[in-house]
Structure 1
């Protein structure tokens, strides 16, 4: 009896200590956001403070949290602070863990965000927390990337020797030369995709490599795996590759961690699809041929090039592509015959090469043949489709049908607490759609790890600074007709006149964008900029022009920043419903009828994409903008009117073009018109 009482007393004392730590942790978050950050020039944002508290509670409670954070919240500081405080006060076996012994992992989908976290956010927090003695040593972070991002010194010298005295694009040549001083290929501007594949660190490094002792990649690994690291930064693919290694019993890529933050979490399912899918493109064949030539198999490399060139030509002739669109494979007699011949050729070459080429090259030949065979005998494990690469050649793609189950197994079953955050996790009234695509519905059903949901509304005053205009005078026009294009062009002309340029026009179709652009060409008093393939160059040109009109589609719906008066008029031409493709057709099969699919999938996906596009309008607390949606399905009385309003922040509503003009005149100063 005395032992029981003693154990209860010890447990009570332990629980009391843990409770004290938790209260102290939350007090410190209050101090950091309410007093410390304002002293260093940052505003107090109550939504940001509450978000950081929610994140800390989820991590402390070993839960998964879906945090939808509106534009301008400052979610990066929120989760970084939560992780720092968890590391300082977190409970481990009833006592404080040693700070820095389990570095948190932050996974993103963009290099730009990784750079910002590494070079801006973490140094700032480290400095102010050290000054206040809230931490004992500087915060350290490292970027973890796959071998394909780093240069192999031996391969680099071989490539430079191969192009010596030959015609080579000068920017690409200089990019290769710059890698003698920088081992990170992401820092080499102008480097071609083909060169990247030839000079990157190989998947399997030979143990007898002559450059092993001086290898810069090996030094990088020693540094990032060293002690005292607080944060490991990586992309979603690297995170999943690490999880796959752990599941298979291989050596992990990341150091052990006890807190996971997935920023830009809406991109995680796409990364998972790439990880558990297969593909074959022209660059893959070029790389295999290059390796064959290096292993003195030039004749075989030449035959392989000729055979696969013919295959890609046949497939391209039998299919019509639109930019950034997946299309179904057409099983014409000519296509099937070409694939059969090519697959047999690849397998036969792999067999004949046994003993004369490396195992890696044979494996690549067999893998290429396997991808082609999927298109001959469809496999229920994969969804098959074609895409186009940068050279307009077809790419054979096989995407797994079980991405949610894959994510559940790779990440959530491990029980590590995680923060998943983005500005577009919530669609309409809830998180159901994102939970399904992330595999969290299965996780919640198993009750292995609790899944929490939190919405942090944007601090921006949309009701005051944003006007939403939904014109209704185009309802009788047939979708996709010439009359509709002319009506869209007329609306854009009137709106750009009302807002004196400063306009971003977002399209969902490149063909419609081209049609409207041609109608308006020479008709606007403002410079028109059209974004096709050279996205960054045209966006920079638009920014320098100050009051131009930018026509854009595709990737410009998200991740592009236009602060100030640069974009004072955002025109969304059509609601961004996903274009039907083989992947979505396969998903449609899971629902009993079209109406259920539209409600459960099509509308929530449209709402998320609409929020991303809308986010281009207001980027700072002082921005003002008119947002116009020309799609008549969004107009009052239209089929998706309520869904549109549900997806967007509450704004003023315009009834006419005159309302637009009054809003701009009232909110802009004289300099805006100069």
Structure 2
């Protein structure tokens, strides 16, 4: 990269910040973190897009924040004048926890240090941007408080409701009921003639968020994509204009895009639309819409009984098309009849719903269509776009805005080809790739155990449960508890847990659907065992001796569904599909799970994979090894126990 005098100074300041200022203020800095920040700064200065795979412990958040700060400071080197508010940066994340950490920890820490040492002239200002449903509508809050004033209500929920007078952000209040939240949040359609608009805390929040001195806008991936969609349709943007984009936890971007650009039709959405019509004094039309819609859903339930087992692919037939026709007609008639009588927003909702129904009637080839079981007796009709990569390219990457996509699991196997494919960056010239390996000493502190005595048994059988129970029992004993067991199936987890819960002298905790209470309980135990699945494969942190044994029960291959079936159609053979899609996705998920093992420089851990396909000679052994850091390996349970005894002190066993 050719440097001019300004870019050279910017890079010199990275060295000064990381090598002098941050260590002086108690932050441990690694060489790989400094190199990563240099790479990120070049990406921003030269308006490129970087895929940065940053291993556990790198400190990527400080790396990209420092790069963003120096980009703004040295913006004139890019031929741009430094105008107040013209160099806003968006940091998009997947988790609320990271958003809070960036806002309340990382940015204040950097702001204070850099100001004190004259690196920046004014404090760094940041704001979290999120949707209306996260904020209190003061007018609706007063109505709700009045409605429950004389009624019997759960004391904790009443206290939470009243506390919203002091907290405009509903996410900051613990114990608020889902029903109350729905009734008091800012509505999707916020009328300009609202009597409380002048004093509205949400409107004041928007005014503060859009002030020119705000440098960093923090949001989640869905909000970023919603803003991109608004811009592509020339609607009013949700975010202030920005000059650089950071996508942290970027491995979650495609999932967010599937949600954003997918559509659904359900009883819940029908009831919501009906309520909007009733509020605009159109009760008769609301009843007509609800009646025809629920009749359609019941008819589809009878037509597709196999939906009860989960998601099923939807293919239009003559019979199904006849079911949709009168419902579409009714929606069109109601929409035409209500023009000029209801808000434009409600008319748009009617038109959008009519459009979803037409997609199903004609089995639109641009969408993947499927049915899934809803909460009640009615099914849910879902659409997913077939062209998410193209949409992401058109809405996020087509301009000249520099962007950094970073995560600990962007690379699969030996490269970024799968990430490029799903994010719309395949074949794009201005994309650069960078791998920042974890600084942790896996060769010394981690032992990978692939047992040689695994049997190939029928999935879901009692024999499988018995075999895994025996293996897990031996490992828990060998490491004296301190174990996290990751499953890919809740039913298998339940079967093994039931067989082990009375056979071990350790506290066993079972987590269903990421129950935070159970995770907190496990963390309070001295040498417990946690059985987990689902979202516990990532985003949970168990440092120190808390988890000294990580057991991955099965390789985390994705469960086939209508979306994966549609993707498979692009490939000539099943083998090509498995190699290009299935294996890279498994490798990413495996790396996420593996990342639960070692969280600090001092951690030591045994990682066991109890899948016969992963062992030496197994079908996916090479794919597993290429996905994980280099570490010691064994197939002997005795070496597992010896490793733990060698690495742990006497207190470990006394706990």
Q: TM-score, structure 2 length as denominator?
A: 0.93
Single out whichever of 92-101 and 154-163 deviates more from structure 2: 92-101
In 1, distance between residues paired with 2:378 and 2:514? 18
- Aligned pairs (5 A) from 1:488-499: 488-499=468-479
Q: Secondary structure at the match of 2:42?
A: helix
Deviation (angstroms), 1:198? 3.9
Provide the secondary structure at the position in 2 that maps to 1:591: coil
SS at match of 1:575: coil
Shift of 1:186: 1.8
Match of 2:516?
Answer: 536
Which among 499, 502, 514 is matched to residue 494 of structure 2?
Answer: 514
Tell me the residue number matched to 2:453.
473
Change (3 A) 1:360 1:521: same
Q: CA RMSD in A?
A: 2.7
Instruction: Give distance in 1, aligned partners of 2:555 and 2:180.
Output: 39
Bigger mean CA deviation after superposition, 276-285 or 453-462? 276-285
Question: Comparing 24-33 with 208-217, which one deviates more in the overlay?
Answer: 208-217
Distance 1:389 1:521, change over 3 A: farther
Once the two structures are superposed, the pairs formed by residues 24-423 of structure 1 within 5 Å of their partners are: 24-91=9-76, 94=79, 97-98=82-83, 101-165=86-150, 171-298=156-283, 301=286, 318-319=305-306, 326-329=311-314, 346-347=331-332, 349-350=334-335, 357-387=342-372, 394-423=379-408
Contact 1:460 1:620 in 2 (8 A): yes
Residues 316 and 541 of structure 1, relative CA distance in 2, 3 Å threshold: farther
Q: Is the CA contact (8 Å cut-off) linking 2:552 and 2:607 kept in structure 1?
A: yes
Distance of 2:135 and 2:582 partners within structure 1: 39
Task: Output the CA distance in 1 between the equivalents of 2:41 and 2:637.
Answer: 47
Give the structure 1 partner of residue 527 of structure 2.
547
* Contact 1:88–1:99 (8 Å) recurs in 2: no
Question: How far apart are 1:56 and its partner, in Å?
Answer: 0.6
Structure-1 residue corresponding to 2:612? 632
Deviation of residue 348 (structure 1)?
Answer: 5.1
Contact conserved, 2:134 with 2:169, CA < 8 A, in 1? yes
Q: How many angstroms does 1:217 deviate by?
A: 1.3
Q: Does 1:436 align with 2:421?
A: yes
State the SS of the aligned residue for 2:361. Answer: coil
Aligned to 1:643: 623
Change (3 A) 1:49 1:61: same
Cα 1:244–1:299 shift into 2, 3 Å: closer
Q: CA deviation at 1:572?
A: 0.7
Spell out, residue by residue over 1:64-96, the C-alpha distance to the aligned partner (whole angstroms, 9 max, x if none).
000000001000000000011111112356476
1:500 corresponds to which of 471, 476, 480: 480
The alpha-carbon distance between structure 1 residues 326 and 525, as it changes in their structure 2 partners (threshold 3 A), is: farther
CA distance in 1, matches of 2:363, 2:76: 51
Q: Decide whether the 8 Å contact of 1:63 with 1:452 is kept in 2.
A: yes
Provide Cα deviations, 1:130-150, integer angstroms capped at 9, x if missing partner.
121111111111111122322
- 1:566 is the counterpart of 2:546: yes
State the Cα deviation string for residues 580-610 of structure 1 (Å, max 9, x = none): 1111111111111111111100000000000
User: What is the number of residues matched between the two proteins?
Assistant: 652
Q: Secondary structure of the residue that 1:383 maps to in structure 2?
A: strand
Q: Call closer, same or farther: CA 1:375–1:472 in 2, change over 3 Å.
A: farther
What is the alpha-carbon distance in structure 2 between the residues aligned to residue 174 and residue 301 of structure 1?
Answer: 35
CA–CA distance in structure 1, aligned partners of residues 147 and 375 of structure 2: 24
Q: Which runs of 5+ in 2 are unaligned?
A: none
Structure 1 residue 310: deviation in Å? 6.2
Aligned counterparts of 1:546 and 1:564: Cα–Cα separation in 2: 11
Deviation at 1:547, TM superposition (A): 1.9
Q: Post-superposition shift, 1:121?
A: 0.3
Question: How much has 1:303 moved relative to structure 2?
Answer: 6.4
- Do residues 575 (structure 1) and 560 (structure 2) align? no
